[in-house]
Amino acid sequence: QVQLVESGGGLVQVGGSLRLSCAASGRFRSINSMAWYRQAPGKQRELVAVITRLTSTNYADSVKGRFTISRDNTKNLVYLQMNSLKPEDTAVYYCNAGIVRNYLGSEYDYWGQGTQVTVSS
């Protein structure tokens, strides 16, 4: 019923910037928190940043001061602006959203397919 699609990944040099986007589409009532996760080869998926429906934010310590998460509730979009990129930021980045699908009010988690970010020296 709901689809999340990420875009904006790619190859960038150390110190460069990328902006990831995630669009939610389908039939649903509302979106609660949205988040970005990442997973590097051989490592577990980790939370990068989260934003609530009222735009409160939290970040992993490793990205504080460099990454900014934002959202557009009208357009059902969430963004991750990544600046001062480091090689250790290389990973597949996944969009996550808690979505209320109908009037019952239950929240379901949805995931995007992931977008590759590679930071080279």
Query: How many CA atoms lie less than 13 Å away from 97 in the CB half-sphere?
Result: 28
pLDDT-derived band at 103, boundaries 50, 70, 90: confident
The yes-or-no verdict on residue 1 having pLDDT over 90 is no
CA 94/CA 113 separation, integer angstroms: 7
The yes-or-no verdict on residue 19 having pLDDT over 90 is yes
Binning the chain into helix, strand and coil, the percentages to the nearest 5 are 0, 60, 40
Q: Map 66-114 to HEC letters.
A: CEEEEEECCCCEEEEEECCCCHHHCEEEEEEEEEECCCCCCEEEEECCC
**What is the structure's pLDDT at 10?**
97
Tokens matching residue 8: 């904006």
For the stretch 61-98, pLDDT in tens is 999 999 999 999 899 999 999 999 999 999 999 999 99
pLDDT-derived band at 102, boundaries 50, 70, 90: confident
For the stretch 47-67, pLDDT in tens is 999 999 999 999 999 999 999
